[in-house]
Amino acid sequence: MSKRVLTARTLTTESGAPVADNQNSASAGVGGPLLLQDQHLLEKLARFNRERIPERVVHARGSGAYGHFEVTDDVTGYTHAAFLGEIGKRTEVFARFSTVADSLGGADAVRDPRGFALKFYTEEGNYDLVGNNTPVFFIKDPIKFPDFIHSQKRDPFTGKQEPDNVWDFWAHAPEATHQVTWLMGDRGIPASYRHMNGYGSHTYQWTNAEGEAFFVKYHFKTNQGVRSLSSEQGAETAGKDPNSHQTDLLQAIERGVHPSWTLYVQIMPAAEAADYRFNPFDLTKVWPHKDYPLRRVGRLVLDRNPDNVFAEVEQAAFSPNNFVPGIGPSPDKMLQGRLFAYADAHRYRLGVNHTLLAVNAPKATTAQNYGRDGLMASNSQGRHAKNYEPNSYDGPAETGRPLSAPLAVSGHTGTHVAPQHTKDDDFYQAGELYRLMSAEEKSRLVANIAGGLSQVSRDDVIEKNLAHFHAADPEYGRRVEEAVRALRED
């Protein structure tokens, strides 16, 4: 018999055997029932049944791209992170953008915050910066996060998002007024992922080579200019192309139009945090630029699309606890909760070895630890590698050098309300944002809020929300109240 040679064009089973017929299943005779022995058929169907994994509870609908970050300004006085260590230095990056509340099959052009997640493949390990396209968020304590998301997603009975649930939660969360004003304003529906800013949102810590600590906030300003859609434009776009943001990002990069953002940071010496007029670790607050001006750091450019959306976008795992030397956490309660929640979500969705997937693995260095085994393990490291530490076999060892400066703690354990600073309340900054808007922006904001709030069935929930807008600014509250009343009387 002649020797059979498998070529690159030969279709095979997963075990490598050649497939004779990929068009017809094996059967008992020409018209008979199918045979259990048809390994190729059973293998294809079994794999097809398992092609999808649990979608993200939030940020399910997303798009991604590769690129680089280049340092343009010296920040070595504030951090000793190697990837920020010299002007002109470039680091490979993977970015994932997303909507927050809807499912994987949702439309892109909807009124919703956008995720803005970055993975920097640095020589000291991967650094993940997981933010949004807004500088603030709805809540300040992670214990409220599951309840908040439940209120914004599909109702267990009706199977759809319910205004009663959305506004009822906000009625009981006055700290959400600032973010609601952002969301219902002109930037609530970005025209594309390329035309929105990104923010770290949380407060992080930078530490320089001398051990001095600073608190920082990240601002990625789009170089394409901010462009947004009105509610009417968003509804039309979502109906015509539910994948509008994905289409735009993909096609722009494919035709060589590479989106970019300029990174700025606000820097607060750690000693100033205790007496600042706002709680600097409150995710519902911003630091006014007049207090802490923006300092330019570098430029983010996206120039390559993923080859496989599932492998590289759906399986991309970002964890805020992936820090590198010179960068660390702050006492921000929401950040502290996310340090656990994000990594745990990925271990559930992708397995304990998800960091070995190509999109998540370090690229400029090699992960060296004693993690072994588990589902889809591929890191045995050879017969002589030990899986414990310390050992006598020259295995990887600790450095003794912390990544960031220690955070001071004091007081008694227990559940505590966040400390109040001189200007801390739930409404001041929401009112400041409203007063910054033009007359046209204010009118659109009021119409967007009234359109949703007027659909709420309970008068007491409406009244509680109206009280928040009155507290933020008397004119703001009056206009929303009048608009809601007019819509309810129609």
Instruction: Decide if 132 is catalytic.
Output: yes
* 59 is a catalytic site residue: yes
* Annotated catalytic residue, options 59, 178, 245, 354: 59
Catalytic residue selected from 126, 132, 322, 353: 132
- Find all residues with CB under 8 Å of 305, minimum gap 6, and list them: 65, 66, 249, 250, 253, 254
Query: Residues 202, 203, 207, 208: is their CA dihedral positive or negative?
Result: positive
N residues, the chain: 490
- As beta bridge partners, residue 353 has none
Residues serving a catalytic function are 59, 132
